[in-house]
Amino acid sequence: MAKKKGKKAAEKQAAQASSNIVVTKVKEFTEFFDESKVEMKKVVWPTRKETISTCVAVLVVSVVIAIYLGVVDLALSKIVEAILS
């Protein structure tokens, strides 16, 4: 009899512990989202004009670097071709 009672008590404690873990995780999850809402209110979003101007700047710099690397690659390939032939 003592073993049965001990087993039942252990099972009950295990079930209670797992339910406590679930409750704790749910509380942590809701706390995370509450803090996320607060942080999102602090964000200063760029205006449409700022977004377009930075996008254009990135595109221009990308094109300039691509042209530069293309010219350097062409020059080096010509030099190697001249050396090997």
The Cα–Cα gap between 11 and 73 comes to 72
Q: In this predicted model, what pLDDT tens digit does every residue of 36-82 receive, in sequence order?
A: 999 999 999 999 999 999 999 999 999 999 999 999 999 999 999 99
First to last CA, the chain: 97
The Cα–Cα gap between 75 and 77 comes to 5
Q: Above 70 in pLDDT, residue 85?
A: yes
The Cα–Cα gap between 64 and 13 comes to 68
The Cα–Cα gap between 76 and 23 comes to 65
Q: How far is CA 61 from the centre of its chain?
A: 26
